[in-house]
A = this chain, B = another copy of it.
Amino acid sequence: MLEDIPRTESYKRAITLSNMFKNKIVMDVGAGTGILSLFCAQAGAKKVYAVEASKIASIALENVKENNFADVVEVIQSRVEDLPESIKVDIIVSEWMGFYLLHESMIDSVIHARDKHLKPGGKIFPEYATLNCALCSASPLFTTNWDNIFGHKMSSMRVLERQSLMAKPQVEMLEEEDILSVSRNILTIDMNSVTVQDVSAIRSKVFIATHNSGIYQGVVLWFDVTFPEPDEENEEASAEIVQLDTSPFSPQTHWKQTIILWPEDREVEEGDIVAFELFLGRSNPESRSYVIQLSELDAATEEHPVPCECGSAKCDVVRAFLENCDDNNEDQDMLSIN
């Protein structure tokens, strides 16, 4: 975590600028080296439980002592699931996010800690998370010119390379120009209410118009998380809502982006409508590991949602009509579109 500056900086800003930690009891779920606990202590918490299951807990304790916060931060080497129920906290902080938000994440532990240890009205840092997708080219994955390998042609290597890259989601940094469409939200998590079940299987149909011409090679996923809104009534608090965004349009993090490749390249023109279904699910019910399936849909025959932002003439007409109905305070439920 320490080497990922956008990540740690966003936590530091959210914790130290919010003014919400003064005299509060905090739990840091998966504390690691204890850096988030130190931020909480620095922000005025009266007690921080730094909960870390691995042996690095002993290092966290050294770090706490070295920074003279041993009277505030209590390092507990334990699984969060094994803590006594009597511990109650005002705020939970955790850096729990995995690749494409969910893969190998610690969200289950944070949900567990919330249900067992967070006082009513307590806050969770971060509070919201969204998972987003877009069409992309994946140029960083295809850098070899197989038509000239030290003077020889090896075009059959392209098939092998594609198969090998398709075998699993690719974690890679894309450039802004690799993004060929607007992005679509496929999951929003409210940490105040999300359940383990809610994030066990996510299925999303996406209809999307390309906004650039280019070679479309796959779908890219990224996430962002948003920290609680500072208390408006607290004059000392910053007005800033802190967000950590792992898109190609933000400073790169160790999460990079995740690319799910299509079997072949597709050439798209600006405005082409592409439809696909994404499925993300745990590899087994107890697992923190996820699998992703990407299936192509036929945008012409598949039923679009209502309203749909794909940009097709039909969907635009429907959407305009719906907005008009809305303006006239008519009941949208009366509408039936086939």
Contacts and interface: CB of A to CB of B under 8 A. Distances in A.
A156 B62 contact: yes
A56 B155 contact: no
Contacts of A112: none
Given A3-B144, A144-B3, A157 B63 contact: yes
A153 B33 CA distance: 11
Contact of A38 (B2, B12, B56, B152): B152
A160 interface: yes
A151 interface: yes
Interface in A26-76: 33, 35, 38-39, 42, 56, 59, 62-63, 66-67
A234 B33 CA distance: 66
A155 B63 CA distance: 7
A228 to B, nearest CB: 20
A337 interface: no
Among A9, A154, A156, A157, residue most surrounded by chain B Cβ atoms (within 10 Å): A154
A2 B145 CA distance: 10
Contacts of A2: 144, 149-150, 154
Contacts of A150: 2, 8-9, 12, 35, 39
Interface string A117-145: 00000000000000000000000000010
Nearest to A68: B153
A162 B158 CA distance: 41
Nearest to A143: B3
Interface residues of A, number: 27
Nearest to A65: B156
Interface in A68-106: none
A152 B63 contact: yes
A144 B1 CA distance: 12
Given A2-B144, A3-B144, A152 B35 contact: yes
Given A150-B12, A151-B42, A156 B59 contact: yes
A33 B157 CA distance: 8
Report, nearest first, the 10 A-B pairs whose CB atoms are least far apart. Answer: A62-B156, A63-B154, A38-B152, A67-B152, A66-B153, A12-B150, A59-B160, A8-B150, A59-B156, A2-B149
19 contacts: A2-B144, A2-B154, A3-B144, A12-B150, A12-B151, A33-B154, A35-B150, A35-B152, A38-B152, A42-B151, A42-B152, A56-B160, A59-B156, A59-B157, A62-B154, A63-B154, A63-B157, A66-B154, A67-B153
Given A33-B157, A42-B152, 11 more contacts: A9-B150, A12-B151, A35-B154, A38-B152, A42-B151, A59-B154, A59-B160, A63-B152, A63-B154, A66-B154, A67-B152
